[in-house]
Amino acid sequence: MSIEITAVKCIGCGRCCSVCPGSLIRLGTGGKADIPHPERCWGCASCVKECPVQAIAMFLGKDMGGLGGRLTVRRENTLLHWTVTNPDGSAKTITVDSRDSNQY
Ligand code: SF4
Ligand code: SF4
């Protein structure tokens, strides 16, 4: 389980570094986010949700029941748009209103 960071998209805001509970992400060369030990990531998706430019994707391998797709999240006010892009380029998005979560 791991994330992938697309350096050309990263704007160096540092939000992912702040939210990672394992302090696994740092700002590296050129002020871009970097994860030196991706094997330590346990897939909480906090950084994926926090990135404002969708520079971080969760790799959905077999250990996640996936087929090699990528999960990204786009925020729109209280809405979170979760998109899975498959290796063949097809994609599916579900939208969740964060006001509806954690109500139990
Ligand atoms: S998915 Fe969670 S554990 Fe993995 S790098 Fe992102 S914030 Fe850290
Ligand atoms: S949250 Fe996104 S844009 Fe900000 S430093 Fe991390 S990867 Fe780069």
For residue 25, give the CATH number of its domain.
3.30.70.20
- Which residue lies with its CA nearest to atom 4 of ligand 1? 41
- Residues 72 and 54: beta-carbon distance below 8 Å: yes
What pLDDT score does 104 carry?
61
Please indicate, yes or no, if residue 62 is contained in any of the structural domains.
yes
For residue 81, is it within any domain? no
The count of structural domains within the chain is 1
pLDDT at 102: 67
Domain that residue 53 falls in: 2-71
Q: Tell me the pLDDT band of 103, cut-offs 50, 70 and 90.
A: low
Nearest CA to ligand 2 atom 6: 16
Helix/strand/coil percent split, the chain, to 5? 20, 35, 45
The amino acid sitting at 57 is: A
Q: What is the pLDDT of residues 4-32, one digit of tens each?
A: 999 999 999 999 999 999 999 999 989 99
Residue 29 falls inside a structural domain: yes
Q: Is residue 80 part of a domain?
A: no
Read off the pLDDT of residues 55-100 as tens digits, 9 standing for 90 and up. 999 999 877 767 889 999 999 999 999 999 999 999 999 999 989 8
Give the percent of the chain with pLDDT over 70.
95
- For a mutational test of ligand 1's pocket, the pick from 4, 25, 37, 73, i.e. the residue with the most ligand atoms closer than 8 A to its C-beta, is 25
Q: Taking CB atoms and a 6 Å cutoff, what residues make up the pocket around ligand 1?
A: 3, 19-20, 22, 24-25, 35, 41-47
